[in-house]
Structure 1
Amino acid sequence: MDSTLMKFPLPALIALLISAAPAAALEQNCRFIQAKPDREACYKRQEEELAERRKPAAPTGESKTLETLRQMRQDDDAVYRSINNICRGC
């Protein structure tokens, strides 16, 4: 067997384990806290962080489009009001 093939999987596996460890540690560290109020506070923080991550992103494209349309409508209304004040055929 080629020695370069044997060297590659080990560093990749180590990198994968290191990257996955903080996420697992974040979820499991609360249960080891002995004091009940501290443990419950830890669980509450985790719950808030999870809720924050699960929030859907605000549809910036759609709201921006609606705001642009509203602004265009206001501009059009201002132009129509100014046109009505022009004397035609005086």
Structure 2
Amino acid sequence: MDSTPMKYAFAALTALAISTTTASAVEQNCRFIQAKPDREACYKRQEEELAARRKPAPATAESNTLETLRQMRQDDDAVYRSINNICRGC
């Protein structure tokens, strides 16, 4: 039995665990800073980094509108399909 895929999976999970641990460790470090201005600056940096990570890619208005229309059309089609399956006057 070849254990190579298991080794890769274990390595990937280990790397993921380490990366999430360091991210949470960075967030926890600010509260241990004694000087108030430095601590507030640390929190501000964290806020900016978090906002930058959460910021979605800029989409043009036209592509956003087309995507919304496609989604609405799919929703409408699903409703129409479910309505057609209702027995009227059985």
TM-score by length of 2: 0.48
